[in-house]
Amino acid sequence: MGEFTLELNEDQKQVRDWLHGFAADVMRPAAAEWDEREETPWPIIQEAAKLGIYSLDFYAQQFFDPTGLGIPMAMEELFWGDAGIALSIVGTGLAAVGVLANGTEEQIGTWVPQMYGDANDVKVAAFCSSEPDAGSDVASMRTRAVYDEAKDEWVLNGTKTWATNGGIANVHVVVAVVDPELGSKGHASFIVPPNTPGLSQGQKFQKHGIRASHTAEVVLEDVRVPGHCLLGGKEKLDDRLARAREKAKSGERVKNAAMATFEASRPAVGAMAVGTARAAYEVALDYARTRVQFGRPIIENQGVAFQLADMATQIDAARLLVWRASWMATAGKPFTAAEGSMSKLYASEVAKTVTAQAIQILGGNGYTREYPVERMHRDAAIYTIFEGTSEIQRMVISRALAK
């Protein structure tokens, strides 16, 4: 277990600078084009794969960094480059985390490599949890998985929504109800292998921000997957359901598979928000230093300077919360005060505030697409929504305080 530190080691600094170079030289010049096209930036993903950024090895190295800072550091730099393109690069990671959190060693070794492909034939993966009537309210999930014992197959039916890479993914990880009487405790996660009949893409969403990332519905119609595609295996599921039934009688709370995935990823989402906020702040700072009004740079006006001071302070505070939560998760320290939700909540709100302030500092220029801050502001809106809205984070935090 690594000690908590605010100083990156030399290896981490090298990785940070490497990622920053990719973000500055490859992602930023292409950001406006792919935002306008609203398409998956396959050439950028392939370039990331050739360099080793989009790969299982790189993701694993950062995930298993003993300090816990590998993932948040990587997320901040990539999302500093561009949120839409970055989400296309890292979106597969949520599905990978779903397998890492709930799968067996054999399942991890079999399916996670197939999520990425290789530099010559890149693939993506999708984590499918949300539904049209079940976003934050996971207990309302309707997608069903029924076990066909005679064939040792699970049959999945339902519709998922808001799925990053949904329908274009090589591997889909689908959360479904296996015991409706247990509500959210009766959920399980399944691998849907490539080219499985019955899985199709539904509506592709045209979004306010992160438009270079593919978001769509996933429709499941009598999708049959082998028994070994149940993450964790049937014996483990049966044991968990039996315990859930017993605990339900006593009123004790039980976590479900989808929530385990989201809890593991919330500090990473906070780091994404920090990256976007930092990018907008840097644009505003540079503009304020060079924009001359009434004979002097506008940064010499207290109204602008104080805004920038607040922006810098909020970004640093958000990063500290993210780093603490990331270190705690790696060190195995429980989030007794909902530290993971705190980091995601605060960083998400900071991203919205800072990007809005950046537009204000740039004035009319900030409102145009000639400058990137309007895109950053559109992108920032997603952080307070996906993987648990700000309202859900506040609910989690308040429940922790009430214990």
The tens digit of pLDDT for each residue in 235-273 reads 999 899 988 888 766 655 555 555 555 566 789 999 999
pLDDT value of position 184 = 79
Side-chain half-sphere exposure of 87, counting CA atoms within 13 A? 28
Burial 169-202 (b: 16+ CB within 10 A, else e): bbbbbbbbbbeeebbbbbbbbbbbeeebeebebb
Give the total residue count for the chain.
Answer: 403
Q: Which of these is catalytic: 217, 339, 387, 391?
A: 387
What was the pLDDT predicted at 4? 78
pTM beyond 0.95: the answer is no
Return mean pLDDT, the chain.
92
319, 260 contact by CB (below 8 A) = no
- Phi-psi label, residue 303: left if phi above 0, alpha if psi -120 to 50, beta otherwise: alpha
Query: pLDDT digit string (tens) for 289-322?
Result: 999 999 999 999 999 999 999 999 999 999 999 9
Q: Give the pLDDT band (50/70/90) at residue 101.
A: confident
Chain centroid offset of residue 247 CA: 31
Tell me the H-state helices in 233-301: 234-250, 257-290
The single-letter code of the amino acid at 381 is: A
Residue 344 neighbours by CB under 8 Å, 6+ apart: 266, 267, 269, 270, 273, 383, 387, 388, 393
pLDDT at 244: 84
39 assigned to active site: no
Rounded to an integer, what distance in angstroms lies between the CA atom of residue 22 and that of residue 189?
34
Q: 3-state secondary structure string, 139-170?
A: HHCCCEEEEECCCCEEEEEEEEEEEECCCCCC
CA distance 348 to 274: 8
Q: Which residues pair with 226 in a beta bridge?
A: 153
Once rounded to an integer, what is the mean pLDDT over residues 46-68? 92
Give the CA distances from residue 228 to residues 167, 285, 372, in Å, rounded to whole numbers and listed in that order: 22, 54, 46
Overall average pLDDT of the 269-297 stretch: 97
